Structure 1
Amino acid sequence: MPMPTEERVSQLVAGLVERRGFDLEGVEISTAGKHVNAQARVKVIVDSDAAADLDTIAGLSTELSEALDNAGEFGETPYLLEVTSPGIDRPLTTDRHWRRSQGRKVRITLRSGAASPDPKSSDKFEARVGVLTDDTVALVLGGKTKPHRVTIPLADIAEAVVQVEFNPPAARELELAGGVAPGRPRPGHEEAVDLTADVQGTTDVPIESIAASDSPTEGIVE
């Protein structure tokens, strides 16, 4: 029996994800190996404005596992379900992505013909995300030494990807950005919020990567 498509799994889980207060950011399906009985890996990527807690993530994982089992889309194919949040270095493609990334550094690529917000910048530059207002976003340029705020239409941005930061920004940078989005880690402090949990005998499981269900008929959280 062929595996369901990512679109089909998205349709099956979207309602449950929404009722738990999350946005469904994507579904990825892969297999470990090429043999007929190879285990499938189903990754459901979710996000929300509020910081996720372990109980909510674990509850969502269990509900999604049960929904997929009941639908029978995988037939006899064993699968591992992983519920995870978007990675730090994710692209910003919707208004909610920009809101949740306030205070973070991004690598921006402008659309062809769009004017650069800074005479010293090319069509590719790094900036810190500020407040999103309608169809424009405030950006903080200049880094720690000469931070200053500009405003740019979202339509002028072809791509924006969040950057991993190993050092915290200057206080003035964050001030100009309007602070960090509520419930989000401060830039340069990701390790401080890498929560872990012991779930059903599995230790050191990141809260953003709670997995469930390694078979189509019996779900586990690991």
Structure 2
Amino acid sequence: MSSPPRGELAAQLEPVVQEAVGAIGLDLELLDVHQAGRRRLVKVVVDGEDGIGLDEVAVASRAVSAALDANEHLLAGPYTLEVTSPGADRPLTRPRHWRRARQRLVKVKQPDAVEFFGRVGQADETGVVLLVKGELRRIEYGDVERAVVEIEFKQPSADELALLEQGTGEGTEEGSR
């Protein structure tokens, strides 16, 4: 028995993997299936509300493995499962990525080639408040071409964090959209 092509197979496996990952309180970020010799490589990237550690990756690996074994007819043969977390350089592409990056420094590139750094404040479904050079700016996600978290070796200043917190209350830029 042969299995469907790669893209179709990933589409068939996605609800199975999504359910297994969701049942343990994690988010499925990526599911990729490709041929690796005689086996298929099933790569699953998961994340949690507050990030994810090795223990959560191990739990996710067991949950996904059990779900795939229960649906082995879809894979139709041997496979290797790789479960991992997103890297530090993962682009911020969804509202939940921005919420998880709260208080972190990000590099944002806009379609007009403007690049700037800002610290992430309140994020909702359509945009985010960033602290840029001491001022709060609301940026809509549609105005972001690419954004990534910058690795920092020092904590943000108390002044910066206080400004971000001001941006989440009523009557501020966030509350007066």
Distance in 2 (CA, whole Å) between partners of 1:153 and 1:21 is 28
Deviations 1:80-135 (A, max 9, x none): x22222111111122111111111122212234xxxxxxxxx71112111112453
1:136 aligns to 2:127 (yes or no): yes
Q: Classify 1:54/1:155 alpha carbon distance in 2 versus 1 (closer, same or farther; 3 Å).
A: closer
| Distance apart, 1:13 and its partner CA | 0.7
Contact 1:10–1:26 (Cα < 8 Å) also in 2: no
Unaligned runs of 5+ in 1: 113-121, 179-222
Q: Any idea what SS the aligned residue of 2:145 has? A: strand
1:152 aligns to 2:116 (yes or no): no
1:164 counterpart residue number: 151
2:161 to 161, 174, 191: 174
1:194 counterpart residue number: none
1:67 aligns to 2:67 (yes or no): yes
Deviations 1:126-167 (A, max 9, x none): 21111124533211122xxxx332222333222222222334
Task: Between the two structures, name the one with larger relative contact order (CA 8 Å, sep ≥ 6).
Answer: 1
1:9 counterpart residue number: 13
2:29 counterpart residue number: 25
Q: Any idea what SS the aligned residue of 1:169 has? A: coil
Unaligned runs of 5+ in 2: 166-177
Answer 1 or 2: which has greater helix percent: 2
Give me the identity figure in percent.
36
Distance in 1 (CA, whole Å) between partners of 2:59 and 2:98 is 27
2:172 counterpart residue number: none
TM-score by length of 1: 0.61
Distance in 1 (CA, whole Å) between partners of 2:120 and 2:63 is 35
TM-score by length of 2: 0.74
Deviations 1:30-54 (A, max 9, x none): 455xxx42x4432211122145465
